[in-house]
Amino acid sequence: MRKLCPKLCPNFDNKEGLETVLEVPFPEEMLRSLGSSTFSRWNNLRSLMKAQPIDRNYTHLSSTPRNEFMALLKLVGSPLVPIQVQSDQSLLTRPLTDCSTEDSTAKYIVQQYVAATGGQAALNALKSMYVMGQVRMLGAEMQMGEDSVQMGGRPEFGGFELWQKNPGLWFLQLVVSGFKVSAGSDGKVAWNQSSSHHFHANRGPPRPLRRFFQGLDPRYTANLFLDAVFVGEKAIENEECFSLRLETSMQILQAQSSPNTELVRHTIWGYFSQRTGLLVKFEDNKLVRVKPPQGSNDLVFWETNIESVMEDYRSVDGINIAHGGTTVATLHRYGGLDNQKRKVEETWKIEEVGFNIHGLSDDYFLPPSF
């Protein structure tokens, strides 16, 4: 496991006091963007880590206002999958017999994936994990019409740390250009909060973070696609892949809907290399219908499509983990007089991965008080 050189935050309150060790890997580009002087940079960073708004009204991301940028950051950085998945259940316990050809083919592909990522015994032995990485975000202005959205502007930089423990406990801390998002699950409720928004509990049962399925946790990935169907073959990044699809049930869609919104569908695809057996691309598409106000018949839809392409698989303690990749999220609002699109891209690089973390307590995953 590769170690990072820690960054030390000066103690401006007490020159004789100890410096603070920063655990999240803040890139130098992000630190420079937090202020014009060393004092203002570290002071803004200290306020940020206390989840207090810092002295910035806009980001470089197409001059996006604070609240809008935070929504985009959550969209690409900390979404959940729609289906409840356990990381601690034994893998591949279901027989390939007594099921359709599409189902048995899908299960066979998952078996090959488990073997490629380290094997069933090695994956079942994992009790917890820790991941630290850096991100680079690029966005596009909201665009009218059906034309494709082009990326532009200056990139934003940041870092994240992600902790996981069986059964179903996880915690994410993501910081990008002075904006902080925290999210987690204590096995009973999944939640998120940010430097500008207080604690929010997600609807429905607790679900895992989508980032786990970006080549970081083979257990979650294998258990998710056990219920998928084989839908054909497709070339991804010049790699011939098997395609698996998973539909979210109507019962789950209804549980995640709200009084003002209806979740119409949420479909997941996984593309597994025919050559290596590894997951090359993870994609999901969600359609939400916004209920019109009283006296109006205009229906508005929000369609979100997120595609993650993984690369640079490396073995860590015998487990193959993707150490880099790119996620592109496209947000499309249409219906009535609306027809707008926006796109956000995140490129990530994993700096450190560890398994079976000694002394990791369940208390670390408790939701914040509210």
| Higher per-residue pLDDT: 5 or 77 | 77
Task: Please tell me the predicted confidence (pLDDT) of residue 368.
Answer: 84
- What is the distance between the alpha carbons of residues 172 and 193, in angstroms, rounded to a whole number? 11
- Residue 45, Cβ neighbours under 10 Å: how many? 22
- Is the pLDDT confidence value at 264 over 90? yes
Contact 167, 87 (CB under 8 A): yes
Q: What is the pLDDT of residue 43?
A: 59
Look up the pTM and report it.
Answer: 0.83
Are 330 and 129 contacting, i.e. CB atoms less than 8 angstroms apart? no
Which CATH fold topology does 73-356 show? outer membrane lipoprotein receptor (LolB), chain A (2.50.20)
| Cα three-residue angle 364-256-244, rounded to 5 degrees | 90
Q: How far apart are CA 26 and CA 258, in angstroms?
A: 36
pLDDT of residue 179: 85
Per the DSSP assignment, residues forming a β-bridge with 9 are 20
Top mean-pLDDT range of 27-36, 264-273, 292-301: 264-273
Among the listed residues 237, 284, 227, the one whose alpha carbon sits nearest the alpha carbon of residue 109: 227
Pick from 348, 312, 351, 352: nearest CA to 136: 348
> What's the token pair of residue 354?
């560890």
Task: Provide the residue ranges of all domains of the chain, joining segments of one domain with +.
Answer: 73-356
**For residue 101, what is the enclosing H or E element?**
helix 101-117
The CA distance from 151 to 142, in Å, is 11
> Is the omega angle on the peptide bond into residue 205 within 30 degrees of 0, that is, cis?
no
Question: 315: which strand partners?
Answer: 320
Stretch 259-274: mean pLDDT: 96
Position with higher pLDDT, 134 vs 87: 134
Dihedral over Cα of 215, 217, 222, 224: its sign: negative
Q: Which whole number is the average pLDDT over 317-330?
A: 97
Instruction: Return the exposure string of 182-197: e unless at least 16 CB atoms fall within 10 Å of the residue's CB, then b.
Output: bbbbbbeebbbbbbee
Instruction: Give the integer Cα–Cα distance in Å for 210 and 167.
Output: 17
Residue 52 φ/ψ, nearest 5 degrees: -105, 145
| H helix and E strand count, the chain | 7, 16
Q: Which residues pair with 289 in a beta bridge?
A: 262, 301
Q: What confidence score (pLDDT) does residue 163 get?
A: 96
Once rounded to an integer, what is the mean pLDDT over residues 140-163?
A: 79
320 or 66: which carries more pLDDT confidence? 320
Is a pLDDT exceeding 90 seen at residue 198?
Answer: no
User: What is the structure's pLDDT at 1?
Assistant: 35
pLDDT in tens, 13-31: 555 554 444 555 555 655 5
Q: State mean pLDDT over 254-282.
A: 96
Q: At residue 237, what is the residue type?
A: E
Report residue 39's pLDDT band, with 50, 70 and 90 as the boundaries. Answer: low
pLDDT at 5 over 50: no
Radius of gyration of the chain (CA): 21
**Is pLDDT at 42 greater than 80 in this prediction?**
no
Please report the pLDDT score of residue 357 as a whole number: 94
